[in-house]
Amino acid sequence: MSFLTKPQITDNIVGPALHKVADFNGDITSYSFQHFAEFHKKVFLSALKLFTNAHEHPTSNKYYDILLNDSLIDEWSTMADCIQYIYDRHNSKDTANRDRL
């Protein structure tokens, strides 16, 4: 089973998801959720899921997946916490079961 690295998560999932709700310069890992309104949280989480699921898996019959819900952002102080959460909890799943989710 192949898993995503922290740089892949940062550059291909969290960074693009953050761009959906905020402009930023520099290292995103210290970017805080302090000024996220509820709408921004929903857009960000939706984008995280989209970019995680869309990230190409090296095995053609698998995809990446992560459990995300609305309360998670309140548990994260910075993007580094989000990146670590995804790194620790993402899974590789069979595409045959994708439609059952």
Query: pLDDT digit string (tens) for 39-71?
Result: 999 999 999 989 988 877 777 777 777 888 888
> For residue 22, which phi and psi values (nearest 5 degrees)?
-155, 150
pLDDT at residue number 39: 93
Query: pLDDT digit string (tens) for 13-34?
Result: 999 999 999 887 778 999 988 8
Q: What is the mean pLDDT of residues 72-97?
A: 86
Close Cβ partners of 15 (under 8 Å, ≥ 6 residues apart) = 28
Q: What is the mean pLDDT of residues 93-100?
A: 62
pLDDT at residue number 57: 74
Using CA atoms, how far apart are residues 65 and 96, in angstroms rounded to an integer? 14
